[in-house]
Structure formats: structure tokens, C-alpha cells
Amino acid sequence: MIVDVHVHAPTQMETVREPKLSPPGYRGDKQYKQNVGWAEFQEAMAPVDKLILLGLAQGSKTPNDDIARWARLWPEKIVPFCSVDPTDPGAMEELERCIEDLKMVGIKLSPHYQNFAPMDPRACAIYAKAERLGLPIAFHQATSPVRTAPLRYAHPMALDEVATAYPDLKIVVAHFGHPWEPDTIVLIRKHPNVYTDISAQFYRPWQFYNALVLCREYAQMHKVFFGTDYPVTTPQETLDALRAINDLVEGTRLPRIPEEEIEALIQRDALRLLGLG
């Protein structure tokens, strides 16, 4: 079973007539279309069996009702995660609504996009509730080109204290914590309930290859999930890039990633490991 643990929602039900391209440099190799219709979304998700659909709250503005609506349209495929902003006074009430009324089963947070210190007491209240209820949290804990997002909150090591204080909380460090992949690897090795994903990484092939090699050397490949960050990348191009990763070192003495480990990553049942399967 292929589970994409990092998918963003369509922007509209109808077909997109005027594509909106990402700013140059958001994806290093090309610009991607940011607005996606429902049919295009379904077609792109054809290679995966399940997907975690998520968005990000900014203050009291949340994506939660939209995420829940898409999940109702495709319940056999979509696993809905909510998002709340710890800096919003109504965050805990919104989280309760998402759990009870919208039946959402996980949370998306981003300390640097939402501008909170990872151990801020307001965030800790969310962690405590998530740990108690068995809700995994996906953290965007990686760099960003957004000038208003403070990088001091983006480093994956900032989650070491969180995972120590809440040892039963299941955490996914998105995007391999790039460009700090080595720190992400030692983090997932230290904490049994902390994982990472490969979303939006393959188009930096040398960095991606080295992250996987180091992950093997630390014997942590079993803690890595398949993910895309759609629409930044698609499942199919991510699958193709993963299966071609060794082409980068063809004809050299550099280490290869065994094909069976690549396929194990692709087929990993992330939902079961996160307590959602």
C-alpha cells in the first residue's frame, strides 16, 4: 500500500482555466501550478492508495472545513488532518471542533510559518491533547523562502524538546527537515515516535541522495515515509525519481540505495505506524 503523508488540497472544484504558477525558486527545477481542480487532483493521486490531506492555519483563518469537505468526497482515500494556530486564542476550541464535528484524525503545525517557539506553552497545550487522544502531528520543520517565516523556529532539532516532553506523541518531520537532514536523522533515531518524510525533496537530487545514504548508515530507513507536498510535486514523479535515485552514481564507487529499501519506503504503511491504520 502506498501512503502519501503530505498532500495539499485542491483549490477549487471546477477545472482550472488560468493556471497560477509558483514564484521562481520555490521549486528549484521548475515552476509548478499552485491552483488545482478536483478532477486534476484525483488524477494526480491515482498512484497512491491513501493520502493525508492537510493545510495550515494562520490565526483564526483555517483550512479545516475545506479539508473536511474534500475528505467527505473521497473517504476511501483521504485521511484528513486539521490545523490550528497556537497563537490564536481560539485554537483549542477549534481543535475540539475539528476532532468532534469534522472527524479529523491528525494535526498540521509549522512553528516558523505560524511564528511560535516549538515549546511555547500555547503549543504545548496542543501537544498534550494530541498525545492524550492519539493524534499525530505533522510539522513543517524545514527551511522556507518566505521572508516573514523565522528560521530559528524551523530547525528540526527544535522538536527534540517536544518529543522528550511528550514521548507518546507521534510526530512527522516534513520534507526530511531540509537542509538539515543529518539533524533530522539523529532526531528520528533518538525518539521512537518521531518520523520524517521525503516530500518535495527529489528535485534536489544530490542532497536527496546523500540524505538517504546517511539515513541507511544510521539504520533509520524504516522511519522514513513517502510524501509529495502535492501540488509542489506529484506522486508519479516522486515515485519515478525515487526508483531512479541510483542513476546519479552510475559508473562510480559511491554507495547505492538497495532497490528493496526503496520499495520498502514506497510501500511503508505510515497510517499504521502513526496509529491511524
- pLDDT tens digit sequence for 158-189: 999 999 999 999 999 999 999 999 999 999 99
CA distance readout (Å), 112 to 6, 173, 224: 18, 13, 23
Tell me the β-bridge partners of 137. 107, 171
Q: Residue 105 phi/psi, 5° resolution?
A: -120, 5
- Domain positions in the chain: 32-273
Assess contact for 110 and 139: CB atoms under 8 A.
yes
Using CA atoms, how far apart are residues 33 and 48, in angstroms rounded to an integer? 20
Assess contact for 45 and 51: CB atoms under 8 A.
yes
The confidence score (pLDDT) of residue 49 equals 99
Assess contact for 30 and 222: CB atoms under 8 A.
no
Using CA atoms, how far apart are residues 46 and 262, in angstroms rounded to an integer? 20
CATH architecture assigned to 32-273: Alpha-Beta Barrel (3.20)
The confidence score (pLDDT) of residue 27 equals 86
One-letter amino acid for residue 209 of the chain = Y
**Element (H or E) spanning 81, and its range?**
strand 78-83
- pLDDT tens digit sequence for 63-113: 999 999 999 999 999 999 999 999 999 999 999 999 999 999 999 999 999
For the whole model, what pTM was predicted? 0.96
- pLDDT tens digit sequence for 179-226: 999 999 999 999 999 999 999 999 999 999 999 999 999 999 999 999
